[in-house]
């Protein structure tokens, strides 16, 4: 019998042994997998929430704008000139011109109040339009809005612009970048803390599993099993823990995000739902979770078994 | 089998090859001091020859177990050396210790059987870890189990066996890779007199086939009966070493 065959025999046996340990000590495996699942779930959930939060804020950010309303007397060409001027400013991302007619059309579409609609009809019959033409300005970053607002209130525009609606959004705009930054930092810190906790908890659980099996290690040593032979089944077992936990986590994530989606929709802006995010990032999440899970299981096993390998 | 009947079947014979004896285990000025200045062994010099049956007696804490543990490299001397043939055990690389241990079969008071494996699996285990092919395992395990008289209980679990039977499984496991030395630390400590005697007979038979046996025991009756070499220990020191001794502390 040559060494290669022996090696393969041992590889097969340790794999079988690892699987056997995994399904034989049912409760212990269940406990370990549960703890790992919970840890992975918290990590993945943190990731999803941070991503969702980021997307949500991005969405708000995209919807934030300043509108400058022009006096009815201002000619369209003058407004378009100002539009050009504004478009040359680097901090401004886009400027959209909404004529009085467009504004009226939009307003009519957005309201369903019959009183308002009939009032508007009255105006129209007289060839009048109560709405003002406007430029809707979007900045490249939220912190620029204040400067843009100041620019629009310069004396040179005083005869053209009747009103800048920045003030009513001011509260939101002012805090936007702050909120985004705080959320990211908080999410990452929480994520890091949870990962650290997960590592410790999983390590301890695996250690308990190993402790329960210490006599087996002793016997293995006494009958002349090499350290690698003692170690391999546990490593495989750690791998199985990781795979099982990752699988459970994915199911749990799918369920929670699916059932949370309708609840979250009410508060969310636009159409961001955790479930859509989950589906969108499924590949990433699955790979990451399988990777973290199996690595966590195997490293924990490797460390936990060390004390029983005094040779 | 009664103890009376058993007595007659015991091969009582002298070590005729005393002169041409080859030392298999040699303790050379071995001391073992545990943390806290507890001296378990103090300057032990002891030579065990190939094919010998050595009984180590002494009270609890006399250092018997420490002495035995050094033979299967589970503990190392603080000073001094232990040799297996001419090879100092402390010089064996950690990585290679498992291979060294296959020269030594071990039997303990608490049997150390895996509770969730059958008799067959427990014995097969010792071959499995060495990477022995299945065909070899299928062939050798029943043979060994027949020697210890458990060929009809191969599919039993340890909990379904008596203490004596469990110890016989443990002995079969120790024998399966044909060790040169059997180290038995109080193998009969948990057994009734009949089982004790059965185990002793097996050990004597194994010794008759050429395997060196080192036995640590409290049991004065068996020591007196087997009339083998007795090494008496007290507080980490060998106080007497008698070729055909009796139990007298």
Q: What is the pLDDT of residue A10?
A: 82
The more confident residue out of B72 and A140 is B72
**How buried is A221 (Cβ within 10 angstroms: 0-12 exposed, 13-18 middle, 19+ buried)?**
buried
Do A89 and A110 fall within a single domain?
yes
Q: In the β-sheet with B53-57, what is the strand arrangement from edge to edge?
A: B104-108, B181-185, B212-217, B53-57, B229-234, B237-242
The whole-angstrom separation of Cα B139 and Cα B45 is 41
Q: What is the pLDDT of residue A180?
A: 66
Predicted confidence (pLDDT) at residue B164 exceeds the cutoff of 70? yes
The domain containing residue A256 runs over which residues?
Answer: 3-60+176-306
Structure tokens at A237: 């077992």
- 8 Å CB contact of A224 and B125: no
CA distance B175 to chain A (A): 10
CATH code (residue A82): 3.30.70.3040
B101 touches A at CB < 8 Å: yes
B117 touches A at CB < 8 Å: no
**Minimal Cβ distance to A223: which of B116, B126, B133:** B126
Mean pLDDT of B221-246: 88
Do A69 and A56 fall within a single domain?
no
The more confident residue out of B13 and A229 is A229
**How buried is A158 (Cβ within 10 angstroms: 0-12 exposed, 13-18 middle, 19+ buried)?**
exposed
Note whether residue A264 is domain-resident: yes
Structure tokens at B3: 């103890």
Task: Categorize the per-residue pLDDT at A209 as very low, low, confident or very high, splitting at 50, 70 and 90.
Answer: confident
Alpha carbon B147 to chain centroid, angstroms: 17
The more confident residue out of B4 and A262 is A262
Q: What is the pLDDT of residue A176?
A: 63
Predicted confidence (pLDDT) at residue A28 exceeds the cutoff of 90? no
The more confident residue out of A180 and A243 is A243
Do A147 and A248 fall within a single domain?
no
B129 touches A at CB < 8 Å: yes
Mean pLDDT of B157-166: 94
- Cβ within 8 Å of residue A262, ≥6 positions away: none
Note whether residue A311 is domain-resident: no
Q: Which residues pair with B238 in a beta bridge?
A: B233
Pairing of strands B212-217, B181-185: parallel
- 8 Å CB contact of B101 and A222: yes
B177 touches A at CB < 8 Å: yes
Q: What is the pLDDT of residue A262?
A: 65
Q: What share of chain A in percent tops pLDDT 90?
A: 4
pLDDT tens for B201-214 read 999 999 999 999 99
pLDDT tens for B90-105 read 999 888 888 899 899 9
Is residue A69 helix, strand or coil?
A: strand
Overall number of domains in chain A: 2
Cα separations (Å) of A204 from A35, A293, B99? 10, 15, 32
Residue with tokens 């901090």: A91
pLDDT tens for A47-56 read 777 777 777 7
Complex confidence, ipTM: 0.73
Q: What is the pLDDT of residue B25?
A: 95
Length of chain A: 311
Q: In the β-sheet with B79-84, what is the strand arrangement from edge to edge?
A: B38-49, B23-34, B79-84, B87-88
Indicate the helix (H) or strand (E) that contains A61. Answer: helix A26-63
- 8 Å CB contact of A222 and B106: yes
pLDDT tens for B18-48 read 457 899 999 999 999 999 889 999 999 999 9
The more confident residue out of A202 and B144 is B144
pLDDT tens for A91-130 read 888 888 888 888 888 887 877 778 888 887 887 777 777 7
**Minimal Cβ distance to A220: which of B97, B102, B129:** B129
pLDDT tens for A230-281 read 888 888 888 888 899 999 999 998 888 888 766 555 554 455 677 777 888 8
- 8 Å CB contact of B133 and A5: yes
- 8 Å CB contact of B99 and A24: no
- Among all residues of chain B, which has the CA nearest to that of A213? B114
Structure tokens at B226: 């087997």
Q: What share of chain B in percent tops pLDDT 90?
A: 67
Overall number of domains in chain B: 1
Among candidate residues A170, A186, A206, the one where a domain is terminated:
A170
B207 touches A at CB < 8 Å: no
Q: Which contacts of A270-279 are long-range, i.e. CB under 8 A and separated by 24 or more positions?
A: A270/A56, A270/A59, A272/A52, A272/A55, A272/A56, A272/A59, A274/A48, A274/A49, A274/A52, A277/A48, A277/A51, A277/A52, A277/A55, A278/A48, A278/A253, A278/A254
Task: Categorize the per-residue pLDDT at A171 as very low, low, confident or very high, splitting at 50, 70 and 90.
Answer: low
Q: What share of chain B in percent tops pLDDT 70?
A: 91
C-beta separation of A152 from A161 below 8 A: yes
The domain containing residue B104 runs over which residues?
Answer: 23-242
Among candidate residues A170, A188, A219, the one where a domain is terminated:
A170
- Mean pLDDT, chain A, as a whole number? 80
Q: How far apart are the first and last CA of chain B?
A: 30
Indicate the helix (H) or strand (E) that contains A97. Answer: strand A92-98
C-beta separation of B187 from B107 below 8 A: yes
- In chain A, the largest separation of any two C-alpha atoms, in whole Å, equals 105
Task: Categorize the per-residue pLDDT at A310 as very low, low, confident or very high, splitting at 50, 70 and 90.
Answer: low
Do A165 and A259 fall within a single domain?
no
Task: Categorize the per-residue pLDDT at B15 as very low, low, confident or very high, splitting at 50, 70 and 90.
Answer: very low
Note whether residue B10 is domain-resident: no
pLDDT tens for A77-90 read 888 888 888 888 88
Among candidate residues A170, A188, A207, the one where a domain is terminated:
A170
- 8 Å CB contact of A6 and B125: no
The CB-side HSE value for A255 (13 A sphere, CA atoms) comes to 7
Task: Categorize the per-residue pLDDT at B10 as very low, low, confident or very high, splitting at 50, 70 and 90.
Answer: very low
Q: What is the pLDDT of residue B9?
A: 40
């Amino acid at each position: 019998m040559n060494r290669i065959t022996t090696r393969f025999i041992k590889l097969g046996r340790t794999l079988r042994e690892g699987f056997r340990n995994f399904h034989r000590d049912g409760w212990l495996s269940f406990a370990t997998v549960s703890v790992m699942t919970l840890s992975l779930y918290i990590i993945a959930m943190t990731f999803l929430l941070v991503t969702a939060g980021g997307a949500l804020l991005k969405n708000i950010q995209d919807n934030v704008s300043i509108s400058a309303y022009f006096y009815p007397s201002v000619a369209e060409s003058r407004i378009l000139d100002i539009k050009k001027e504004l478009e040359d400013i680097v901090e401004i991302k886009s400027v959209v011109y909404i004529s009085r007619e467009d504004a009226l059309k939009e307003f009519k579409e957005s309201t369903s109040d019959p009183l308002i609609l009939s009032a508007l009809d009255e105006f129209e019959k007289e060839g009048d339009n109560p709405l003002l033409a406007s430029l809707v300005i979007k900045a490249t970053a939220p912190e620029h809005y204040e400067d843009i607002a100041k620019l629009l209130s310069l004396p040179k525009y005083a005869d053209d612009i009747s009103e800048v609606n920045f003030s009513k959004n001011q509260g939101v705009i002012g805090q936007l970048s702050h909120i985004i930054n705080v959320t990211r930092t908080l999410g990452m810190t929480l994520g890091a803390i949870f990962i650290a906790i997960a590592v410790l908890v999983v390590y301890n659980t695996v250690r308990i599993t190993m402790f329960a099996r210490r006599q087996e290690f002793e016997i293995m040593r006494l009958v002349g099993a090499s350290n690698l032979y003692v170690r391999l089944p546990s490593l495989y077992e750690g791998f199985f823990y990781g795979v099982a936990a990752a699988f459970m986590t994915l199911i749990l994530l799918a369920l929670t995000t699916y059932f949370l989606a309708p609840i979250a929709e009410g508060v969310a802006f636009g159409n961001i739902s955790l479930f859509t995010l989950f589906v969108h990032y499924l590949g990433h999440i699955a790979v990451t979770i399988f990777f973290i899970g199996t690595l966590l299981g195997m490293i924990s096993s490797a460390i936990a078994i060390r004390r029983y390998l005094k040779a | 089998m009664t103890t009376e009947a058993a007595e007659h079947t015991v091969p009582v014979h002298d070590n005729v090859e005393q002169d041409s004896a080859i030392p298999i285990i040699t303790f050379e000025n071995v001391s073992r001091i545990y943390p806290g200045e507890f001296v378990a062994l103090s300057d032990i010099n002891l030579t065990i020859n190939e094919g010998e049956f050595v009984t180590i007696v002494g009270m609890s804490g006399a250092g018997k177990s420490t002495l035995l543990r050094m033979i299967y490299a589970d503990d190392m001397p603080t000073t001094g050396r232990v040799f297996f043939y001419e090879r100092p055990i402390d010089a064996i690389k950690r990585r290679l210790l498992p291979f060294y241990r296959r020269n030594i079969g071990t039997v303990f008071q608490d049997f150390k059987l895996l509770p969730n494996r059958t008799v067959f699996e427990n014995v097969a285990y010792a071959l499995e870890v060495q990477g022995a092919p299945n065909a070899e395992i299928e062939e050798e395990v029943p043979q060994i189990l027949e020697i210890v008289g458990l060929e009809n209980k191969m599919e039993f679990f340890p909990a379904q066996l008596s203490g004596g039977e469990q110890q016989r499984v443990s002995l079969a496991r120790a024998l399966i890779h044909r060790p040169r030395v059997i180290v038995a630390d109080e193998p009969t400590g948990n057994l009734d007199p009949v089982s004790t005697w059965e185990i002793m007979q097996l050990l004597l038979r194994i010794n008759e086939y050429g395997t060196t046996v080192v036995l640590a025991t409290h049991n004065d009756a068996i020591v007196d009966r087997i009339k083998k070499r007795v090494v008496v220990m007290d507080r980490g020191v060998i106080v007497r070493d008698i070729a055909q001794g009796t139990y007298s502390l």
